Amino acid sequence: MSTDAPSSTPRSRRFYWAWGISIALLIVLGFYVGSYVRRSSRGGYEPAVIGLNGVKWYDWAPEGFVTDYRWNASMKRIYWPLWYLDRRIWHTPDMADSGEYPVNEVAPKDIGKVYEAWK
């Protein structure tokens, strides 16, 4: 007669393994969000749409998203979910005219520089 009692060791190991993975993911998520918040706190509004008479509207650009009027597509892809929420909730295009945040304004005579950077 065998009285093999189920061992609690595999279950507890699975629990601690899952707990460790969860903690690691939360730490990674915290660094991801924190790095975006840091970049966003140092950001400003950059030209997003241009026309013949100048900039039509400005869009929020955290630090590192724009260099010499050229948008960094990789940064936009990496931080897209946070950037999307940021632009919809905190840094809406309407806030560019509020005077609360820096705006990289482009004079109509210099719009060619933006056009060249976007080519």
* Distance, CA of 70 to CA of 64 (rounded, Å): 10
Q: Amino acid letter at 87?
A: R
Give pLDDT, residue 5. Answer: 53
Rg of the chain, C-alpha, whole Å:
24
- Helices in 4-108 by DSSP H: which ranges? 9-41, 73-78, 80-89
- pLDDT given for residue 3 in this prediction: 54
Q: What percent of the chain has pLDDT over 90?
A: 62
pLDDT, residue 11, reads 74
Amino acid present at 61: A
Q: Residue 45 in 3-state DSSP?
A: strand
| Per-residue pLDDT tens digits for 42-58 | 999 999 999 888 899 99
Q: Report the alpha-carbon distance of residue 92 to residue 89 in Å, rounded.
A: 7
Which range (49-53, 57-61, 64-68) has the least confidence? 49-53
pLDDT of residue 115: 87
Place of tokens 């400005």: 58
Whether the full predicted model's pTM is greater than 0.95, yes or no, is no
What token pair was written down for 92? 């809406």
Give residue for tokens 């820096």: 102
